[in-house]
Structure 1
Amino acid sequence: MTNAPTDILHATHSALRKNGYAELTMQDIADETDLSKASIHYHYDCKHDLLVAFLDHLYERFTARIEDPDGESPSERLRSLVDTVVTDRPENSAFQTALLEIKAQSPYDDAFRERLRRFDDTFAAAAREIVAEGVAEGAFRDDVDPDAVASFLTTYVNGAQVRYVSVGHPLEVSAAEVHAYIDETVLAESDPAPGESATPPPERADTGGSSE
């Protein structure tokens, strides 16, 4: 037995990929389902109401994706959190472009802005929690401000997504750059980045004798 509202939300995803935000119509969404346009209007009065519900749907998926970042240490979990948002993107670039179009409407649309803010707030809260944990454990520098780092990372991942959609800047490069920020700004000296030794190797004794 199908669930019409869920089917409509999935159809909205497909229709946005094909048509973008500006050109999207309720008929485009109906064409992606076995439902009629009138049936979609039964559940959602207009395209705007449907897109608000679609953002709620995306938010539920987003929170599930970032709920438990991989990694044993705070630094590994922080990198994993960033990678999940920046590089682990199941949606294609056409869908990302459509989302950027929706974001561009948020300054003029309270419902869009409220829902987009939830994405930022949730990501920032997750980053803040990991950074605070890392500071408490001594894995991160004791002068690191979890709020400041969370704010920076939230701004950065948003910018990485916009840069990818607008000029094609590779997401993997953006992720590598933010990893470098974590290594250089957040990590305590005694907490190595993945693949690095916690302490430098001992200097080898000079066994070749003096050249003088």
Structure 2
Amino acid sequence: MSDGDPSEDIMGATYRALCAHGYADLTMQDIADESAKSKAALHYHYDSKHDLLCAFLEYLYDGFVERTADVDDADSHERLLALVDAVLDKPDDDSEQFGTAILEIRAQAPYEPGFRERLTRFDDYLVDRLTDILEAGIDDGTFDPEMDSEDTARFVVTVLTGAATERVTAGRPTECTRRMLTEYVETHLLADTQEVEA
């Protein structure tokens, strides 16, 4: 059976079960225990834990897009930094255990095409958003016209992904990444006229 439209109850239960058990030890029964539905009801909607987690990643993607969508009311420079902030700011309801579970899922992506496809959507979305912002900034004179906007966007996404990984694996805060990316934008991406005015 396909993923279908995940219900808030099942997605919330999946979140709570991942926080409690992590990815490796997670079972459908664990999710059912956190839900108003039985294990049999979960299997009615999803054939396997893998299918349910694929749906959960899609649910997280929709939430991520919504959370990072409110950065379009500023100029290109401010919009770029606001998007970086939105990515680095951990949602209030995210726990460390959940971050660890998502990292475990990410580690399975090379072996699980369903996970890889859905996780790639996050990166592709961010690259597209950043590329659009950079190209708009090139057009309006904010950013260096010699810049390769897509390559720059991919570099920024790589840095953001690394910062998120280090926050989970080493407990490192993201303030240094935020500060250094801001400096990178202001010293390497702004057009010469912007640098003079700053």
Give the structure-2-normalised TM-score: 0.91
Number of positions where the alignment pairs a residue of Structure 1 with one of Structure 2? 193
Matched, 1:189 2:192: yes
Unmatched 5+ stretches in structure 1: 200-212
Could you say which residue in structure 2 is the equivalent of 1:152? 155
Q: In structure 2, what residue type is equivalent to 1:33?
A: S
Could you say which residue in structure 2 is the equivalent of 1:67? 69
C-alpha RMSD of matched pairs (Å): 1.8
Could you say which residue in structure 1 is the equivalent of 2:111? 108
Q: Secondary structure at the match of 2:177?
A: helix
Does the CA-based 8 Å contact 1:87-1:175 persist in structure 2? Answer: no
How many percent identity over aligned positions?
A: 43
Q: Secondary structure at the match of 1:108?
A: coil
* Separation in structure 2 between the aligned mates of residue 65 and residue 10 of structure 1, nearest angstrom: 17
Matched, 1:7 2:9: yes
Q: In structure 2, what residue type is equivalent to 1:22?
A: A
Q: 1:179 aligns with which of 177, 182, 192?
A: 182
Give the structure-1-normalised TM-score: 0.85
Matched, 1:124 2:123: no
Q: 1:135 aligns with which of 135, 138, 142?
A: 138
Q: In structure 2, what residue type is equivalent to 1:83?
A: D
* Separation in structure 2 between the aligned mates of residue 75 and residue 42 of structure 1, nearest angstrom: 48
Q: Deviations over 1:157-188 (max 9, x none)?
A: 11111111111111122111111111111112
Larger radius of gyration: 1
1:4 CA displacement:
7.7
Does the CA-based 8 Å contact 1:30-1:37 persist in structure 2? Answer: yes
Does the CA-based 8 Å contact 2:6-2:56 persist in structure 1? Answer: no
Could you say which residue in structure 1 is the equivalent of 2:197? 198
Q: In structure 1, what residue type is equivalent to 2:40?
A: A
Which stretch of the first structure deviates more once superposed, 20-29 or 3-12?
A: 3-12
Note closer, same or farther for the CA distance 1:175–1:70 as it changes in structure 2 (3 Å cut): farther
Q: Deviations over 1:15-73 (max 9, x none)?
A: 11111111111111111122211111111111111000101111111111222315521
Does the CA-based 8 Å contact 2:109-2:115 persist in structure 1? Answer: yes
